[in-house]
Amino acid sequence: MLEMLEMEFMQRAWLAGLIMAVICPLIGSFLVLRRQSLIGDGLGHIAFAGVAAGALWGASPVLSAAAATIVGALAIEKVRTKLSDAADMVLAIFFYSGMGLAVIFTGLNKDGGFNLGSILFGSLMMVSSKDLLIVAALGFCTVLFVVLFYRPLQYLTFDEKSAKVAGLPVERLNLLLALLTALTVALSMRIVGLLLVSAMMVIPVACALQTARSFRGTIMQSMLYGLVTVFFGLTISYYVNLAPGGTIVLTGTMFFLLSCLAGSKRKAKQPAPGHCHCHICEEEGQEHAS
């Protein structure tokens, strides 16, 4: 273990991986609970189009991906609020359009300029100090945003209509969340890859949902699952000499299966829905009707 941490590139990989392990589930918790689990994938495709456009016109791939995902995320958010009944369909259309644009830009580009494999799967073992700094700044902004706006975000995730009636700035909060999601996808792309970013936004949260009993618990557990997943994924990758993106995702999937088992055992021990333990019901030996 210590031998693995002696190398500088592994230290950077570990730090970048652990930061991603915290921020992806942190943002992902709100997305999954709002039934937007696939938004990371959708934005990933838009980011891919951004990278391809950047390569075609000689712009920085990270900047062009960030610009494309920000525009995409804000557009998805606008359409989601206007056409809430068709939100999943709209997301799918953005998804395909992003891929379509990426294919066209790639076809027009005769000089190359980007590595498809590194965009999809990242290059965790090639993380530079600059990359690490960008991810750390992103992590700080994400944690600060969630800490400051925790309750408003909780309210609009659980019951957006009532949050609006309570006078909360729902549209602005939604746009901020969309912006942060877009930046997480775009800035993490080079390090962990588009596939891993979206997987890390969903799988740890899916694990936490099997066992958590509260909103706060879901967020804390999803970050814990994220950290454990990256820890084991990277360790396996190093010792078995496999691609880190793949080992991290598959480790997460294994934890998801284990959490399903733990969750079903826990549910079996719980009282039936509607059963109340209040002193009135227990004294009278009755249940609240469901």
Partner 1 sequence: MENNIIMVRGLGFDYGDGWVFHKLNLDIAEGDFVAVIGANGAGKSTLLKMLAHAMPPTVGEIYYYGKPLEQFREWQKIGYVAQNPMKMQREFPISVEEVVALGLLQPGKLWHRYGHSEKRAVEKALLDFQLTSLRQRKIGELSGGQQQRVFLARAMVHSPKILLLDEPATGIDTASKVALYAMLKQINREQNVTIVMISHDLELAADAAKSALCIDHGICFRGDVHEALQHHHKHGYFYR
Binding site for partner 1 (CB under 8 A): 33, 148-149, 151-152, 154-155, 158-159, 161-169, 208-209, 212-218, 270, 273-274, 276-280, 288-290
Q: How far is the CB of 95 from partner 1 (least distance, A)?
A: 23
Q: How far is the CB of 66 from partner 1 (least distance, A)?
A: 26
Q: How far is the CB of 42 from partner 1 (least distance, A)?
A: 21
Cβ proximity to partner 1: between 78 and 164 the closer is 164
Cβ proximity to partner 1: between 156 and 199 the closer is 156
Torsion from C-alpha of 172, 178, 181, 187, nearest 10 degrees: -90
Q: How far is the CB of 51 from partner 1 (least distance, A)?
A: 35
Cβ proximity to partner 1: between 71 and 82 the closer is 82
> How many residues does the structure list for the chain?
290
Cβ proximity to partner 1: between 137 and 165 the closer is 165
Look-up: residue for tokens 């830009």?
Answer: 105
Tell me how far apart the alpha carbons of residues 8 and 140 are, in angstroms, rounded to a whole number: 23
Q: How far is the CB of 162 from partner 1 (least distance, A)?
A: 6
Cβ proximity to partner 1: between 116 and 166 the closer is 166
Cβ proximity to partner 1: between 116 and 281 the closer is 281
Q: How far is the CB of 81 from partner 1 (least distance, A)?
A: 13
Closest C-alpha to 156, from 34, 27, 70: 34
